[in-house]
Amino acid sequence: MRIKTTFFLWLMLVLFTLISCEKDDVCLSPTTPKLLITFNNSTNVDERSEVSDLTVISLPDNDTIYSAQTKDSIAIPLNVNANNCKYILAESSNRDTLQINYQREDVFVSKACGYKTIFHSIQIDKITDNQNWIFDLIPLQSNIIDEKLAHVKVLH
């Protein structure tokens, strides 16, 4: 009789332990999307054109957030705490500045992921100087909700 009681108590302990376990909260949903930029040929806007020695620097803190030998597209983060940001895109030693303005919306994703920010009414302007390597900007989407499609073409 004592063996049956001990077995029953152990069985109950194991069952309560298994029942009380919580499912792991793992975030599998996409988080705040980045701005996707493609670099295209200025004479044929549908043709991708690699940029050599590309460096992306955030302003005003002058942090290098991206650097590559050759690239035909990049993804850069937007500031989730303000409605604008500036980046320097440098090809070799020629530097052009982009001013990006937008409206932010925080969206609840899940308990595990928390919130993500999506961006609306995107406006990108090139601050001109006397030696631009970026000829023009072609906006492709006015909202940044995901990273499935490019958001802007940079013609160079």
Tens digits of residue pLDDT in 12-57: 777 666 666 666 677 877 789 999 999 999 999 899 999 988 999 9
In-domain check, residue 19: no
Taking only the tens of pLDDT, the chain with its 156 residues reads 677 777 776 777 776 666 666 666 778 777 899 999 999 999 998 999 999 889 999 999 888 888 887 789 999 999 999 999 999 999 888 999 999 999 999 999 888 888 999 999 999 999 877 888 999 999 999 999 999 999 999 999
- Taking the alpha carbons of 117, 118, 122, 126 in that order, is the dihedral positive or negative? positive
pLDDT at 30: 78
In-domain check, residue 98: yes
Task: Look up the domain containing 138 and give its range.
Answer: 24-155
In-domain check, residue 2: no
**Beta strand 35-40 with 73-76: parallel, antiparallel or unpaired?**
antiparallel
Closest of 106, 63, 70 to residue 87, by C-alpha: 63
In-domain check, residue 4: no
In-domain check, residue 61: yes
* Number of independent structural domains in the chain: 1
List, as own/partner pairs, every contact residues 104-107 make where C-beta atoms lie below 8 angstroms and the sequence separation is at least 24, other chains included. Answer: 104/80
Q: For residue 107, what is the enclosing H or E element? A: strand 94-110
Q: How far apart are the first and last CA of the chain?
A: 86
The pTM of the full predicted model, rounded to 2 decimals, is: 0.80
In-domain check, residue 11: no
Closest of 77, 131, 127 to residue 102, by C-alpha: 77
In-domain check, residue 8: no
In-domain check, residue 136: yes
Q: Measured between alpha carbons, how far is residue 67 from residues 63, 75, 90 in Å? A: 11, 12, 9
